[in-house]
Structure 1
Amino acid sequence: MVKCSRKSFSLSNLWVSSHDKLSDFYLSSWQRGESPVPMLAVRLILAAVATGILIWSLASALNPYWLVYLTNWGLLLVTMLTLSGLLVSCITICTTVSDGAELPWFISMYWFIYNIAISIAIMITALYWILLFDPEQREEEAPADFWLDVATHGVNSCIAVVELLASRTPVRLLHMYQPLGVGLWYAAFSGVYYAAGGTDSLGNPFIYEVLDWRQGTRAGAVVAASAACLIILYLVIWGTAFCRDKLSLSIIRTTSHTLPMTPQDAHQIV
């Protein structure tokens, strides 16, 4: 245990192994009571949509290059987020969980994926529509391909945002390194992939043209700018979760402090 600024700080706070209330991971911010059913219903829908998009993507473009694209990394992360959240809700309905010093493994797994998937999904959506989307190429695409692009670069973020807003899952600033680490990991992967002679599905010596490592300076600048944007995005997500909790506590999860009347002590009756 490390003491810092009059407050106790534990290295476990850097990981996803401890939190005061287990109920924050299976209750909705917008419900009264302690039933895990409302969040279960939300997560069931989200998991069905995410899994459907994943199957659609695999069926449409299953080839050896599928896993080299950041879009598909994000799609896998969002699907894992919804399925792990669904697992948390199902287990808490079937068994009784109680607060303790350490979080159960299934909650830690969900929280870790949650921290990564939401930021990465929104970042992928922003990068695609700002840097990669080509309206002229869109005219040459089949309608099914366009709608798959919308699903993998738009609906993915909607799923992540719904999970963020509907749940009570906490967002800690200390966990910023988790999505940032995945983003930098992908950048490193793309560089190693290029150095090893890897190509995209069309035979180009890069995965994304904007991240062409033949132009190292530009690619490095893109990575640095993306990392800065990811940090800002995580701060926005943290602020959104903070506002979600404050609004929920003030409007929905209010607690009455009015005490019931107690009978008068018999010894005081004259």
Structure 2
Amino acid sequence: MQFFKRFWKGLNNELQKKHFGFEYNHVHLFYKSLWQKNEVSAYYLLYRWIWAILFLSIYIACTILQFCEGKFFIYMTNWGFGLATITMVYAAVQVTCWHYDVGNVRSLVQESGQKANTTCSLKVYWVLHNVSLLLALIISTVYWIFLNGRMNKPVRFPAISIITHGLNSICMLIDFIIVAFPLRLLHMVQTMLTAIIFFLFTLIYYLCHGTDEFGNPYVYPILDWNDPKRCLVTFIGIFIMIVCYWILLFGAHKLRQAFNRAFSVVWTPHAVGLI
């Protein structure tokens, strides 16, 4: 019951105009795992670089195998995985700078305390993570429900398809659970803008007589501009999905915070005698 009270209180607080932006008092949380106790963690640093290398390796392999004279870059799947790759590499660099106090990053934040400002680099990271997380879920859902087996072309690399349409979401959700910085409800607009950009791209691509690698006059069958009504339905459906997923993620964010508070209490030395 207490969780739901905190959830609704947090929901009302999140809908304030100030949370549309990127100001946040606890800047150090962008460099840490939610589950680490100390200011730096070798385990978290290792995790960040494993994730970065994994995503980068997969993306490079996908680009080489599926380049198809540049057609690789017309798909939202590859936009999403590319953004996720940038996010993971960016996060690894940020955490490395924090861990080794490169450029006095950690020292300056610790000296400033809650007066530390969210730097431009952290704002970029926040946006990248928000968009990558939600896009991964949207891409996986749309592919497995609406596109798998309905693309009018063979799946040339089944393993890669599973990785980019399934493993992407799993990895981003794991990262969502591990990172310490907050999820802002109003930040769903960032992914909405990304979706709008992609929809406009598919329209321009169609008007320029662009095709996929097999000559089909569309990027995805559900975005075939020969049938504008279908495209509009897809557009609305994606937006509804964005809202629903982001609200669920917000609830999950509050839940992980509750678990973290409980975990912190249980493992606090003063609380050991209460177990």
Asked if TM exceeds 0.5, the reply is yes
Which of these residues, 118, 121, 124, is aligned with residue 109 of structure 1?
A: 124
Aligned partners of 1:256, 1:156: CA distance in 2, in Å?
Answer: 35
Within a 5 Å distance, the mapping from 1:1-270 to structure 2 comes to 13-16=19-22, 18-62=23-67, 63-95=69-101, 96=106, 97-98=108-109, 99=113, 100-134=115-149, 141=155, 145-252=157-264
Runs of 4+ deviating beyond 4 Å: 9-12, 135-138, 253-258
Larger Rg: 1
Which residue in the other structure is 2:10 paired with?
none
What displacement does 1:254 show?
Answer: 6.1
State the one-letter code of the partner of 1:51: L
- Aligned pairs, how many? 249
Question: Is the 2:27–2:117 Cα contact (8 Å) retained in structure 1?
Answer: no
Provide the alpha-carbon RMSD of the alignment. 2.6
CA distance in 1, matches of 2:150, 2:120: 45
- The structure in which a higher percent of residues are helix is 2
Once the two structures are TM-superposed, the CA of residue 115 in structure 1 deviates from its matched residue by 1.0
The gaps in structure 1 that reach 5 residues or longer are: 1-6, 259-270
C-alpha contact (below 8 Å) 1:84/1:109 kept by paired residues = no
* 1:81-103 Cα shifts (integer Å, max 9, x gaps): 10111121011112224143521
1:170 partner SS: coil
CA deviation after TM superposition for structure 1 residue 11, in Å: 6.1
In the aligned structure 1, how far is the partner of 2:148 from the partner of 2:226?
Answer: 22
Q: TM-score, normalised by structure 1?
A: 0.84
8 Å CA contact retained: 1:50, 1:159:
no
CA distance in 1, matches of 2:192, 2:124: 18
The alpha carbon displacement at 1:257 in A equals 10
CA offset digits 1:35-55 (Å, max 9, x no partner): 243321221111111111101
* Letter paired with 1:199: T
Counterpart Cα distance in 2 of 1:39 and 1:196: 46
The answer to whether the 8 A contact 1:200-1:207 is kept is yes
Contact 1:75 1:152 in 2 (8 A): yes
Aligned CA distance change for structure 1 residues 87 and 57 (closer, same or farther; 3 Å): same
Give the Å deviation of 1:10: 8.4
What stretches of structure 2 of length at least 5 have no aligned partner? 1-12, 271-275
TM-aligned CA distance change 1:164 to 1:136, over 3 Å: closer
Q: Deviations over 1:49-96 (max 9, x none)?
A: 111110110110112211110010011111011011112101111222
- Normalised by the length of structure 2, the TM-score is 0.83
Q: For residues 196 and 59 of structure 1, what CA distance do their matches in structure 2 show?
A: 25
Superposed displacement of residue 244, structure 1 = 0.8
Relative to 1, partners in 2 of residues 1:45 and 1:253: Cα closer, same or farther, differing over 3 Å? Answer: farther
CA distance in 2, matches of 1:19, 1:38: 25
Provide closer, same or farther for how the CA distance between residues 37 and 105 of structure 1 changes in structure 2, counting only shifts above 3 A.
farther
Work out the CA distance in 1 between the residues paired with 2:84 and 2:200. 21
How far residue 221 of structure 1 moved from its aligned partner, in angstroms, is 0.5
Structure-2 change in CA distance of 1:128 and 1:254 (3 Å) = same
The answer to whether the 8 A contact 1:36-1:92 is kept is no
The share of aligned pairs that are identical, in percent, is: 23
Return the letter of the residue paired with 1:150. I
